[in-house]
Chains A and B, each alone.
Chain A
Amino acid sequence: MTIWKRPPRLYVRLAFLAAAILLLWSSPKLLVQSSMFVAICSPIASRSISAGIGIGLAFAGIALLRSRWFCRYACPMGLLLEGVSRIGLKRAAWWSRLPQLGRYAALATITGALVGYPVLLWMDPLSIFSGIFAIRIAADLISGILAGALILLSLASGTVWCSHLCPLGGTQELISSVRLHFQIRDKTSPGLQGIAGRRAFIALATGAGLGYWAQRARAMQSKSEFLRPPGAVAERDFAGICVRCGNCVRACPSKIIHPDIGSVGLTGLLAPVVRYEKKYCREDCIACTRACPTGALQPLSMDQKRAYVIGEALLDASLCLLALEEKDCDACKRACPYEAVQIHWDEAQYVAYPIIDSHKCNGCGACEVACPADPIKAIRVWRITNDELRITNYKNRRD
């Protein structure tokens, strides 16, 4: 390396950083889709393809020629972590003896994707970078938790992430090793043999096994209460396909989408959940469905979104101010954009309460937000545990 080469590389990296931030602002899903790790694993896992992954595949083409070119020139997360590591502790690189785990992470994720659950897709650095920008004022810091962890890691141990752990880096190595394998004349290169062997087998088996287990685990979590944003694919697939980039969190004008901690369990960690506190899922908005880079949230038209069943509103009459005859309240009925709530007079009990038409309700949460019952709302949106029911409702409504 000659000295004159360094400043231009920095310029190129800064230009890519600027481009990344510009993308975040204008078309956030493209930033995540430009990760070849995501561009390869997401379509496999979701069994669907979108045009945006073209950028990621283009970078994969470059990796075929020059391994780690992306890391050295384009990766905004790499630039950030390198900058951080310079101000961090200058310890001996204890990790230099470790195997390059990133490529095994990538392998495991690809096989997991084949099974249907890309186990470590959430480790994608561009998604983590994107997540930083989902932290909002007066909102939670959870979106940036992965980025925070990487920054701490870089402060303590230098560039261990980039060189040894990053699955995007590992993906590039896998790709370039394919090239080396076919360059027969380069006998010294390990080629595919370099990554084959016991470790690769373990990675493949682990990916498939974890993928299978994660889906089973998710199926068993059917009892926990949480809601996914509109357009979410079936729950058994959702948290795998989601890369936790925070795009949907950031896109939501009502700020009702939050990265989850705890309510979905380990496999759903940081994946988006909907909580109705001050606002509901507006009937005139499809922002989150358009921001998802991986298809975990399918892009919906306005009509499709109105028909998409997020959950179902259910009434606990023992908390309802109208049913308790404390107030002449019909806040839920007034709030419902779909006219799914009606006040019903129960002649036998000589009392009135709201009833919800499940054929009209899509779980937007307007009623829950409007309900004045305190401290627990009488009408709340509950998860439809049976995905098939949810999808049937959705299809019926679109007809």
Chain B
Amino acid sequence: MARDLSRRELMHSIAAGGLVVAGTMTPLSSLLAYQDPKAVRGAQAPTAAGARTSATVVDGKVIQPRRELEILRKTGVLVVGGGPAGTAAALSAKRLGVDVTLVERYGYLGGLATGGLVLAIFPLYGGNNKPVILGIGEEFMKRLDKLKFGIVERNIAPDYPTIDAEAFKYVLADMVLASQVNAYLDCWGVDAIIDAKGSVRGAVFESKSGRQAILADVVVDASGDGDIYAAAGAAFEKVKDNIGLDSRIGNIDIEDLTGQNREHVTGNRDKIQGGRPTRGTPVVAFEGHVGSPTPAPHTNWINMKGPVADGLDVAEVSMLELKHRRALWNNLEKVRSKPGAEQAYLLETAPQIGVRLTRLLAGVKKLTLQQVKAGTKFKDVIGYSGGSPEFQIPYGCLIPAKLENLLAAGRCISAEMQVAETTRLIPVCWVTGQAAGIAAALSIKDRCKPRDVDIDKLQSELRQQGAFLG
């Protein structure tokens, strides 16, 4: 290249090349190592202005003009969402040698497990306390095992592990960098790209680089909210659930929190009465919640259930972000009035709000509570959820009833709400993520639709990657 390429131009050329030789493109990780040696601090030369496509007001309505979108990349498997399901999907798919692109809306990986401060890794065990969730989730935890203050309460069912959010962010960043998965952060999936037949061909993203497209052979919708399948017109059930905001509190001097001393000694717990409670609304006056221990010393995490709200309504979510943070500070003031906790401080409120359930896919199969209670076995089982009792998850729950070239993973898969209350949990998202990633890669390798993936191959590859299928 004779002249210096701008970063954007370089991406252009790579994306264009990718169109010709998909799967053999330069991995983005080489881009990540790219440093423009002539980058100059200060004023930059203006870039050529494209066609004006700003929205305009026509007869009082806001109109977005038709416009061509810049193609950011062409890839094999496009994973939208870098939470537990998305990271599991991307890393697992990459192991089959296909080109994988992972796009995440926040500036870190791990979703609610890191940025949501949902530090409890639950449910990992079956009714008999046997671990039923292995695979990539177990790999993550084994990585955390090696980190100081990375994870506690491992392998002591029925108690379940608590992780450190920063340790997990590190593990995921390291694994994604090493895997040569192409990752874009601070990049929000906002629309699906569909072809004339209505099949998914990729997704549209918004970032500081503007509105851009990523073309893909298969899309894994790990957005949590099913944003991509909803945009592509797949059928789904909309639900509301509680929305809270977790937080961490530091300098809690009540106990040794390094995992050596597992005794829970919290402000309220030492007042155990055990007498007959009254009916109806509890008469307890809560005196400040200190939550429960994390791997980090003198640091607790506080769970918040929050009210039932619409996680797809920006006004409701915004109001809760504000109210929750105000409440967390008020809680801190109460905590400080407890003996031994005078020096406590609010270490952090979770960067992302704890939306639990919004959209549930209408899939080829819908996992029902009845099936779960009956311990139904599926021929297309792709993994287990922990619980009492544990239950199987079929591949059909990841496939939209009609939409092609897309698989759902994580909390937005096809399940009744009472089942989704379990399948939305972090370890189960690892399970459905890993299965969706492998299935997407297999559909590319075998040149078939995701719904036609050979189940035996899928299961054998899952087992190969350490997953537990019973």
Contact = CB atoms under 8 A, between A and B. Distances in A.
Interface of A: 225, 312, 314-319, 321-328, 330, 334, 343, 345-347, 349-353, 355, 358, 370, 372, 374, 376, 382
A267 B297 CA distance: 55
Contacts of A351: 286, 289, 305
State the main secondary structure of chain B at its contact with A: loop
B97 to A, nearest CB: 38
A355 B281 contact: yes
B183 to A, nearest CB: 28
Interface stretch (B131-139, B271-279, B442-450): B271-279
A229 B325 CA distance: 48
B465 interface: no
A327 B282 contact: no
Interface in B236-283: 242, 244, 264, 266, 268-269, 271-282
B152 interface: no
Contacts of A321: 292
Contacts of B280: 355
B289 A325 contact: yes
A352 B306 contact: yes
B159 to A, nearest CB: 9
A298 B266 CA distance: 46
Contacts of A350: 327, 330-331
Interface in B296-325: 302-308
B357 to A, nearest CB: 13
B305 A314 contact: no
A306 to B, nearest CB: 16
B388 interface: yes
A326 B303 contact: yes
Nearest to B327: A350
A223 B308 CA distance: 39
B120 A323 contact: no
Given A326-B292, A327-B120, A318 B284 contact: yes
B276 A314 contact: yes
Given A326-B292, A328-B305, A345 B278 contact: no
A318 B271 contact: yes
A323 B276 CA distance: 17
A326 B302 CA distance: 6
14 contacts: A312-B279, A314-B279, A318-B272, A319-B268, A324-B266, A324-B289, A325-B289, A328-B244, A328-B303, A330-B421, A345-B305, A346-B281, A349-B285, A352-B305
B18 interface: no
B291 interface: yes
Interface in B136-165: 158
A143 B272 CA distance: 33
A382 B118 CA distance: 33
A303 to B, nearest CB: 19
A319 B282 contact: no
List 9 A-B pairs, minimum CB-CB distance, nearest first. A317-B282, A352-B305, A325-B289, A326-B292, A345-B307, A316-B277, A314-B277, A317-B284, A350-B327
A324 B264 CA distance: 12
Nearest to A383: B276
B327 A315 contact: no
B303 A327 contact: yes
Given A323-B284, A353-B282, A376-B274, A334 B421 contact: yes
Contact of B268 (A322, A324, A328, A345): A324
A349 B289 CA distance: 11
Nearest to B278: A314
Contacts of B276: 225, 314, 382
A335 B403 CA distance: 35
Given A345-B306, A345-B307, A328 B118 contact: yes
Contacts of A315: 277, 282
Nearest to A350: B327
B271 A325 contact: no
A325 B302 contact: yes
Contacts of B331: 350
B291 A349 contact: no
Which of B266, B289, B421 is packed against the most chain A CB atoms within 10 Å? B289
Contact of B242 (A314, A324, A343, A376): A343
A312 to B, nearest CB: 8
B272 A319 contact: yes
Nearest to B243: A345
B284 A347 contact: no
Interface in B204-253: 242, 244
Contacts of A317: 277, 282, 284
Contacts of A347: 307
A379 to B, nearest CB: 9
B272 to A, nearest CB: 6
A345 B308 contact: yes
Given A319-B269, A326-B291, A328-B244, 4 more contacts: A316-B277, A318-B284, A326-B264, A346-B281
A323 B302 CA distance: 11
B389 to A, nearest CB: 12
A327 B292 contact: yes
Nearest to B120: A327
Nearest to A335: B388
Nearest to A321: B292
Contact of B158 (A225, A334, A372): A372
Nearest to A325: B289
A326 B277 contact: no
A352 B274 CA distance: 20
Contacts of A324: 266, 268-269, 286, 289, 291
A328 B123 CA distance: 12
A352 B284 CA distance: 12
A358 B280 CA distance: 9
Contacts of B282: 315-318, 323, 353
A324 B330 CA distance: 15
Nearest to A346: B281
Contacts of A334: 421-422
A314 B274 CA distance: 11
Nearest to B422: A334
Interface in B32-50: none
Nearest to A370: B388
A330 B289 CA distance: 18
Contacts of A328: 118, 120, 244, 303, 305
A174 to B, nearest CB: 46
A316 B277 CA distance: 5
Contacts of A374: 264
Nearest to A379: B277
B463 to A, nearest CB: 30
Nearest to B282: A317
B305 A322 contact: yes
B307 A326 contact: no
A327 B276 CA distance: 23
Contacts of B303: 322, 325-328
Given A326-B291, A327-B303, A345 B286 contact: no
A323 B287 CA distance: 11
B93 to A, nearest CB: 30
A343 B305 contact: yes
Contacts of A312: 279
Which of A314, A325, A355, A374 is packed against the most chain B CB atoms within 10 Å? A325
Interface string B320-358: 000000010011000000000000000000000000000
Nearest to A380: B277
Which of A317, A322, A370 is packed against the most chain B CB atoms within 10 Å? A317
